[in-house]
Structure 1
Amino acid sequence: MDNLIIHHQVIEKNGETTILLYVNPQLTEFSSELGTPETNKSKSFEKHIREYIKKNLKATKANSIKVLLGSMVLSQLVFPSISPKQVEAAEFNMSYLFFGSTSQQINFVDQTQKAVDTVSPSYFDINADGTLDISNQFSPTFINEMKARNVKITPFLSNHWDRNVGRAALQNRELLSTQIADTIIKYDLDGVNIDIENVTEVDRANYTDLVRLINEKLPADKEVSVAVAANPYGWTQGWHGSYDYKKLSEYSDYLMVMAYDQSYYGGDPGPVASYNWVEKSIQYAINQGVPPNKIVLGMPFYGRYWNDQESVGGNGLSRKEAETLVKDFNGKITYDEASKSVKATFTIKESDPKPRISSRNLTAGNYTVWYEDERSIQAKIDLVHQYNLKGTGSWALGQENPAMWNSYDLWLEGTPFRDINTHWAKNDIIEINNKGWMVGVDNNVFGPEQKLTRAQAAVIIARALELDPVTSTTTGFQDVNSSHWASKEIATVRQYGLMAGVEEGKFAPDEPLTREQFAVILDRILVEKGAISEDVGKSASTFTDVAANRWSKESIVRMNQLGIVKGMKVNEFQPTGELTRAQMATMMNRASSFLES
Structure 2
Amino acid sequence: MNKCKRTVSWIIMMGLLMTVLLPVTPVYAFSISDLLGQTTGSADSGGATSMSTGNGLMNTLLGLLLGSFLGNISGSPSSGTDKGSSDNSGLNPSAKELVGFYAEWWGEDTSSYNSMIKNADTIKTIAPFWATMQADGTVTDRGGSDHAKVVNAAHQQNMTVLLLVNNAKVENGVTPVHTVLANPALRTKAIDSFEAYIKKYNLDGVNVDFEMVPAEDRDNLTAFMRELYARLKPQGYTVSIDIFPKQNENSDVAAAYDYAGLAQYADKIMIMTYDNHGTWSGPGPIADIRWVENSLKYALDFIPKNKLYLGLAAYGYDWSANGTQSLEYKQIMELAQRYGQSVEWDDASQSPYFSYTTAEGIAHTVWFENSESLKHKLTLMAKYDIAGAAMWKLGEEDPASWPVFRDKFGK
The whole-number CA distance in structure 2 between the counterparts of 1:158 and 1:192 is 11
User: In the alignment, does 2:126 pair up with 1:119?
Assistant: yes
CA contact (8 A) 2:96 2:408 kept: no
1:404 corresponds in structure 2 to: 401
The whole-number CA distance in structure 1 between the counterparts of 2:163 and 2:206 is 5
1:303 corresponds in structure 2 to: 316
1:246 corresponds in structure 2 to: 260
Distance of aligned partners of 1:113 and 1:335 in 2 relative to their CA distance in 1, 3 Å threshold: farther
Q: Unmatched 5+ residue regions in structure 1?
A: 9-49, 62-81, 351-363, 414-420, 422-597
Note the alpha carbon deviations across 1:352-372, whole angstroms, 9 max, x for none.
xxxxxxxxxxxx422211111
Distance of aligned partners of 1:54 and 1:298 in 2 relative to their CA distance in 1, 3 Å threshold: farther
1:135 corresponds in structure 2 to: 142
Percentage identity across aligned positions? Answer: 27
Residues 367-386 of structure 1: pairs in structure 2 closer than 5 A: 367-386=364-383
Question: Helix, strand or coil for the counterpart of 2:400?
Answer: helix
User: In the alignment, does 2:161 pair up with 1:164?
Assistant: no
The whole-number CA distance in structure 2 between the counterparts of 1:174 and 1:395 is 29
- Per-residue deviation, 1:56: 8.1
The whole-number CA distance in structure 1 between the counterparts of 2:118 and 2:258 is 36
CA contact (8 A) 2:374 2:401 kept: no
User: In the alignment, does 2:291 pair up with 1:277?
Assistant: yes
Q: 1:231 aligns with which of 212, 228, 246?
A: 246
CA contact (8 A) 1:116 1:151 kept: yes
Residues 4-19 of structure 1: pairs in structure 2 closer than 5 A: 6=23
Residues 561-576 of structure 1: pairs in structure 2 closer than 5 A: none
Task: Normalising by structure 2, report the TM-score.
Answer: 0.74
- Per-residue deviation, 1:58: 11
Distance of aligned partners of 1:57 and 1:129 in 2 relative to their CA distance in 1, 3 Å threshold: closer
The whole-number CA distance in structure 1 between the counterparts of 2:356 and 2:232 is 51
CA contact (8 A) 1:5 1:52 kept: no
Question: Helix, strand or coil for the counterpart of 1:136?
Answer: coil
- The residue type paired with residue 103 of structure 2 is F
Note the alpha carbon deviations across 1:484-505, whole angstroms, 9 max, x for none.
xxxxxxxxxxxxxxxxxxxxxx
1:502 corresponds in structure 2 to: none
- What RMSD in Å do the two structures reach over aligned CA positions? 2.9
The whole-number CA distance in structure 2 between the counterparts of 1:379 and 1:133 is 38
CA contact (8 A) 1:201 1:241 kept: yes
Question: Helix, strand or coil for the counterpart of 2:255?
Answer: helix
2:343 corresponds in structure 1 to: 333
CA contact (8 A) 2:111 2:394 kept: no
Note the alpha carbon deviations across 1:354-395, whole angstroms, 9 max, x for none.
xxxxxxxxxx42221111111111111111111110000011
Distance of aligned partners of 1:319 and 1:244 in 2 relative to their CA distance in 1, 3 Å threshold: same
User: In the alignment, does 2:390 pair up with 1:393?
Assistant: yes
CA contact (8 A) 1:160 1:197 kept: no
The whole-number CA distance in structure 2 between the counterparts of 1:323 and 1:54 is 52
The whole-number CA distance in structure 2 between the counterparts of 1:346 and 1:168 is 45
User: In the alignment, does 2:237 pair up with 1:222?
Assistant: yes
CA contact (8 A) 2:137 2:190 kept: yes
- The residue type paired with residue 295 of structure 1 is L
Question: Helix, strand or coil for the counterpart of 1:243?
Answer: coil
Question: Helix, strand or coil for the counterpart of 1:123?
Answer: strand
Higher mean C-alpha displacement, 266-275 vs 94-103:
94-103
CA contact (8 A) 2:278 2:286 kept: yes
Note the alpha carbon deviations across 1:185-244, whole angstroms, 9 max, x for none.
232210000011112210111111111111111153211100000113x14352201101
The whole-number CA distance in structure 1 between the counterparts of 2:379 and 2:336 is 28
The whole-number CA distance in structure 2 between the counterparts of 1:215 and 1:139 is 24
Question: Helix, strand or coil for the counterpart of 1:401?
Answer: coil
CA contact (8 A) 2:375 2:404 kept: no
Distance of aligned partners of 1:59 and 1:201 in 2 relative to their CA distance in 1, 3 Å threshold: closer
- Per-residue deviation, 1:345: 1.8
Distance of aligned partners of 1:5 and 1:249 in 2 relative to their CA distance in 1, 3 Å threshold: farther
Question: Helix, strand or coil for the counterpart of 2:250?
Answer: coil
Note the alpha carbon deviations across 1:540-576, whole angstroms, 9 max, x for none.
xxxxxxxxxxxxxxxxxxxxxxxxxxxxxxxxxxxxx
- Per-residue deviation, 1:315: 2.4
Note the alpha carbon deviations across 1:389-436, whole angstroms, 9 max, x for none.
0000011111002332133121347xxxxxxx9xxxxxxxxxxxxxxx
The whole-number CA distance in structure 2 between the counterparts of 1:174 and 1:374 is 42
CA contact (8 A) 1:199 1:238 kept: no
CA contact (8 A) 2:307 2:386 kept: yes
The whole-number CA distance in structure 1 between the counterparts of 2:86 and 2:180 is 50
The whole-number CA distance in structure 2 between the counterparts of 1:181 and 1:160 is 18
Task: Normalising by structure 1, report the TM-score.
Answer: 0.52
CA contact (8 A) 1:201 1:238 kept: yes
2:98 corresponds in structure 1 to: 93
CA contact (8 A) 1:279 1:383 kept: yes
2:304 corresponds in structure 1 to: 291
2:334 corresponds in structure 1 to: 324
CA contact (8 A) 1:193 1:225 kept: yes
The whole-number CA distance in structure 2 between the counterparts of 1:316 and 1:59 is 42
Between the two structures, name the one with larger relative contact order (CA 8 Å, sep ≥ 6). 2
